[in-house]
């Protein structure tokens, strides 16, 4: 199948040397932030000492109560940038409730894991409200009371319709990965969620890009927001990007095999285009003796969770996935991302390879490109007009 675009220059970029600490304008250490001792202790216990640029600039503004738009590269710590100050607000006032809206189940669950780490030992409870999981458990969790509700737009609206969730309860709302939310066709759900929120609230948008559609949302839902831009380019400077050329599709698996047996390929995330294709890659690699797991749309949420856990705990060192994993999956120390099948748009490419090179670690991204194939890239917007078809593939 011909991919949506194939411009080799988009996939080739040498990693830049890390900038000396003095060149990065970071003004704080985590110990400097005006948060409670227990929260500070939890942050430091996770190994956080010096904030990333987006954390350095966003945390004080959110603590001050400002509406905020944060534009930052994937993998720069946006989740901690909003969770830390929102937890602090909850510590100061037990009546504070925060709604966090995420585009995918995986991202919602990852945010909840981070929340639990930061709020360890505190009476702060959360509910994850996502599709693909038993809604009864989520309703029961909401009834017990939660300071944080983290969910996807469809399930949140379902809970509102069932009168199990009242948007007016929330004094803080975060729209995480706002650009992805719009790309996935959630605009009506988002507008419905915001229509039920109280007027007096703090609203926070985080996004990797600022499109006209995102700007339209921010102008509708935020009041005099602080704009923080720390994005330095489409992809992180510490990701080494290159292509793997092949002539016939039949030889791709052998080429992949020869890369994966190299010592430096320690923890590898491989992206395929379709559910069937991903399962085939997984089975082929397993038959060759590699320790692999896979996630795609035919897997249950529990099966996806198990596969991710095995990958995180390095019980398998290769995870094969469709684009369901391209957003929000924060797996430490992924050494390589391999695009076995080309992404449909450049934005998809950016989000795929953002799973490596996180938290200033160096990463490598490799993309299979058929020799001689070099067509003009399709614009991200054009690619997303086919989102319904693509979601079926995932």
Distance CA 207, CA 72 (A): 7
Give mean pLDDT, residues 258-274: 95
Joined tokens for residue 299: 């897997």
Confidence of residue 14 (pLDDT cuts 50, 70, 90): low
Joined tokens for residue 268: 């590898």
Confidence of residue 333 (pLDDT cuts 50, 70, 90): confident
Give mean pLDDT, residues 67-86: 89
How high is the pLDDT of residue 27? 87
How high is the pLDDT of residue 21? 40
The CA-based diameter of the chain, rounded to the nearest angstrom, is 62
Nearest to 21 by CA among 49, 61, 60: 49
Confidence of residue 32 (pLDDT cuts 50, 70, 90): confident
Question: Model-level pTM?
Answer: 0.71
Could you tell me where the DSSP H helices lie in the chain? 37-45, 53-63, 78-92, 105-118, 135-144, 153-161, 178-183, 187-195, 212-221, 252-260, 275-287, 301-312, 346-353, 380-384, 387-393
Distance CA 309, CA 304 (A): 9
362: pLDDT strictly greater than 60: yes
CB-CB neighbours of 15 under 10 Å: 17
Is 60 strand, coil or helix? helix
Confidence of residue 392 (pLDDT cuts 50, 70, 90): very low
120: pLDDT strictly greater than 80: yes
Residue bearing the bigger pLDDT, 312 or 13: 312
**From the candidate CATH numbers 3.40.50.300, 3.40.109.10, 3.10.50.40, 3.30.2020.30, the one assigned to the domain spanning 21-229:** 3.40.50.300
How high is the pLDDT of residue 289? 96
Instruction: Classify domain 8-17+238-393 at the CATH class level.
Output: alpha beta
Mean residue pLDDT across the chain: 85
Distance CA 111, CA 77 (A): 11
Confidence of residue 235 (pLDDT cuts 50, 70, 90): low
Contacts of 113 (CB under 8 A, 6+ apart): none
Distance CA 5, CA 30 (A): 42
193-214 pLDDT per residue, tens:
999 999 999 999 998 777 777 8
209-229 pLDDT per residue, tens:
777 778 888 888 999 999 998
117: pLDDT strictly greater than 80: yes
- In Å, how far are 114, 188, 250, 351 from 110, measured between CA atoms? 6, 24, 36, 16
How many residues are recorded in the chain?
A: 394
- In Å, how far are 1, 101, 108, 180, 300 from 187, measured between CA atoms? 30, 12, 18, 10, 26
Angle at 67 between CA 27 and CA 145, to 5 degrees: 105
Residue bearing the bigger pLDDT, 192 or 359: 192
For residue 94, the 8-state DSSP code is T
33-49 pLDDT per residue, tens:
999 999 999 999 988 88
Q: Do domains 8-17+238-393 and 21-229 have the same CATH topology?
A: yes
Ordered by start, the domain boundaries in the chain are 8-17+238-393, 21-229
Confidence of residue 75 (pLDDT cuts 50, 70, 90): confident
How high is the pLDDT of residue 367? 95
């Amino acid at each position: 199948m011909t991919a949506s675009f194939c411009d080799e220059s988009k996939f080739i970029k040498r990693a830049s040397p890390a900038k000396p600490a003095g060149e990065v304008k970071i003004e704080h250490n985590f110990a400097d932030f005006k948060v409670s001792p227990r929260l500070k202790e939890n942050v430091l216990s996770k190994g956080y000492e010096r904030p990333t640029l987006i954390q350095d600039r966003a945390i004080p503004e959110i603590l001050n109560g400002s509406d905020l738009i944060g534009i930052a590269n994937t993998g720069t710590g946006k989740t901690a940038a909003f969770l830390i100050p929102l937890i602090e607000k909850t510590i100061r006032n037990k009546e504070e409730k925060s709604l966090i809206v995420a585009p995918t189940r995986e991202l919602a669950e990852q945010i909840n894991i981070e929340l639990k780490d930061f709020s360890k030992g505190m009476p702060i409870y959360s509910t994850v409200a996502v599709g693909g999981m038993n809604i009864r458990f989520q309703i029961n969790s909401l009834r017990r009371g939660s300071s944080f509700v983290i969910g996807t737009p469809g399930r949140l609206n379902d809970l509102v319709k069932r009168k199990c969730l009242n948007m007016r309860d929330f004094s803080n709302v975060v729209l995480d990965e706002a650009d992805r939310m719009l790309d996935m066709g959630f605009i009506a759900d988002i507008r419905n969620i915001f229509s039920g929120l109280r007027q007096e609230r703090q609203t926070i948008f985080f996004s990797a890009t600022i499109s006209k559609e995102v700007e339209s949302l921010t102008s509708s839902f935020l009041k005099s927001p602080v704009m923080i831009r720390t994005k330095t380019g489409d992809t992180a400077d510490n990701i080494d990007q290159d292509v793997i050329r092949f002539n016939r599709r039949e030889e791709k698996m052998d080429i992949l095999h020869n890369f994966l047996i190299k010592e430096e390929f320690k923890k590898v995330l491989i992206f395929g285009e379709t559910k069937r294709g991903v399962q085939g890659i997984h089975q082929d690699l397993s038959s060759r003796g590699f320790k692999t797991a896979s996630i795609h749309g035919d897997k249950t949420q529990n099966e996806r969770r198990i596969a991710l856990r095995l990958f995180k705990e390095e019980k398998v060192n290769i995870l094969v996935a469709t684009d369901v994993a391209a957003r929000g999956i924060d797996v430490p120390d992924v050494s390589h991302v391999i695009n076995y099948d080309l992404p449909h748009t450049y934005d998809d490419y950016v989000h795929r390879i953002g799973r490596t090179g996180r938290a200033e670690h160096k990463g490598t991204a490799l993309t299979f490109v058929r020799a001689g194939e070099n067509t003009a890239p399709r614009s991200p917007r054009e690619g997303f007009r086919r989102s319904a078809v693509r979601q079926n593939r995932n």
